[in-house]
Amino acid sequence: MAADNAPYDPSLSPLSKSPWSSHINEDAFVSNENEALVGSLVREEGHIYSLAATKDLLYTGSDISGKNEQQHKRVATLPTLRNYIKCSMKPSNYVEVRRHRNVLWIKHYDAISCLSITEDHSLIYSASWDKTFKVWRTANFKCLESVTAHDDAVNALVVGPEGLVFTGSADGTVKIWRREAQGKTTKHFFSQTLLKQECAVTALAINVEGNLLYAGHKLAVLCLATAGGLVFSGSADMSICVWRRTLSDEHTCVNVLSGHTGPVKCLAAERDPDAMCNERKWILYSGSLDKSVKVWKVSENAAAPTNVQLPRLSADQFPRSSSLRKMGSRRY
């Protein structure tokens, strides 16, 4: 055991092996502004495509594998090799996806665009550009169901309350599916089309209460996140819009966060741990194709700046919301 007064060796720190470099904005901690850039995490290589935040951990998805492979161990690849071989034995498990091309129904044959998990962590959903979403059981990673959901690529999928699943597609529609248990498996039934338009649906987000669904339905809107009464939209124009929801479910853009030099591809938000009990403040993480993750502090009570031209919300602009309380349960 090393002596307590032994000199510190920086090379022994796991941070020395990290592909990330951190940059702290010291002015943010002494500023009284409600919206401020706290800091940035920058990768030497690889773009940032997805984010998830929980407690004191931030997870990032990139197109370059990490240099320190001891931090996380891959548990499985879906479908598992065992399930793939077992399924391949039956000709009935093959479906025709293109002319003269058959594939196993348990495997996506095009890019996987998004993942979602149920609140009880029992099911994983994967959506793909192959127009389908698939349902996987987390206990054994078995594919339970494959649903041909849209006429074009499925860009977004979120799991809602009471067994509801929402999908958004490049065909311009948002669809609602109802999950029902059937013995040891599940079955999803089409409920209704919530939105139909010419523009592709690029992102979906649902609020904490589970009664409002937001759809990014302009090509420039690449990602969405919700926190309390706020909605955040990341755009291809490198900016982040902060929208505030009123009691009448109207939305107003209260600020535009700028700092990225590439399209904003993903967002994640969590409550600010330093906020007082009566304060509604949030920490927002934004991932961009400029290879950085930026950290912002945002207050729900902030007033819109008077010297900045903000987007105005109209019927054909993001975000569009629909109350799930009005939704029927009819099957089609």
Phi, psi of 11 (to 5 degrees): -70, -20
175 shares a domain with 249: no
126 shares a domain with 94: yes
Q: Is 11 a residue whose pLDDT tops 60?
A: no
> At which of 153, 172, 201 does a domain end?
201
Residue 211: what pLDDT? 83
| Percent of the chain predicted with pLDDT > 90 | 36
Instruction: Provide the pLDDT confidence category of residue 215 given band limits of 50, 70 and 90.
Output: confident
Q: Is 293 a residue whose pLDDT tops 60?
A: yes
Whole-number Cα distances in Å, 141 to 91, 149, 188: 22, 21, 18
Q: Which residue has the higher pLDDT, 132 or 280?
A: 132
In whole angstroms, what is the distance from residue 328 CA to residue 184 CA? 27
Residue 55: what pLDDT? 64
Residues with Cβ within 8 Å of 281's Cβ and at least 6 positions away in sequence, in order, are 271, 272, 274, 275, 297, 298, 299, 300
329 lies in a domain?
no
Residue 300: name the closest of 232, 223, 233, 202 by CA: 232
Instruction: Give yes or no for a contact between 232 and 225, defined as CB atoms under 8 angstroms apart.
Output: yes
Tokens of 129: 């550009």
255 shares a domain with 155: no
226 shares a domain with 195: no
Q: What residues are paired with 143 via a beta bridge? A: 136
pLDDT in tens, 12-55: 444 444 555 666 665 554 444 556 788 887 866 667 777 777 66
Reduced to 3 states (helix: H, G, I; strand: E, B; else coil), residue 229 is coil
Instruction: Give yes or no for a contact between 283 and 270, defined as CB atoms under 8 angstroms apart.
Output: yes
Residue 5: what pLDDT? 53
Give the chain's mean pLDDT: 79
Q: Is 134 a residue whose pLDDT tops 60?
A: yes
Domain range spanning residue 181? 77-201
Q: Which residue has the higher pLDDT, 232 or 315?
A: 232
Instruction: Give yes or no for a contact between 50 and 61, defined as CB atoms under 8 angstroms apart.
Output: yes
Q: What is the torsional sign of CA 91, 97, 102, 104?
A: negative
313 shares a domain with 225: yes
Q: Is 106 a residue whose pLDDT tops 90?
A: yes
In whole angstroms, what is the distance from residue 328 CA to residue 332 CA? 11
Q: Is 264 a residue whose pLDDT tops 80?
A: yes
72 lies in a domain?
no
Stretch 196-217: mean pLDDT, rounded? 85
Stretch 145-174: mean pLDDT, rounded? 95
9 lies in a domain?
no
216 shares a domain with 297: yes
Residue 102: what pLDDT? 92
193 shares a domain with 109: yes
DSSP 8-state class, residue 29: G
Task: Give how many domains the chain has, as a whole number.
Answer: 2
Residue 67: what pLDDT? 53
pTM above 0.85, yes or no: no
Whichever domain contains 144, its CATH number is: 2.130.10.10
Length of the chain: 332
Is the peptide bond preceding residue 10 cis, with omega within 30 degrees of 0? no
300 lies in a domain?
yes
Phi, psi of 325 (to 5 degrees): -65, -25
Stretch 87-115: mean pLDDT, rounded? 91
Phi, psi of 207 (to 5 degrees): -75, 170
84 shares a domain with 192: yes
53 lies in a domain?
no
Residue 101: exposure state from Cβ atoms within 10 A (0-12, 13-18, ≥19) = exposed
192 lies in a domain?
yes
Residue 113: name the closest of 164, 149, 142 by CA: 149
197 shares a domain with 210: no
> At which of 176, 201, 226 does a domain end?
201
86 lies in a domain?
yes
> At which of 201, 232, 260 does a domain end?
201
194 shares a domain with 91: yes
Q: Which residue has the higher pLDDT, 171 or 184?
A: 171
Lowest mean pLDDT among 181-185, 222-226, 228-232, 264-268: 181-185
134 shares a domain with 197: yes
Residue 16: what pLDDT? 47
Tokens of 191: 């409920």
Whole-number Cα distances in Å, 167 to 97, 109, 153, 273: 20, 18, 10, 33
108 shares a domain with 144: yes
331 lies in a domain?
no
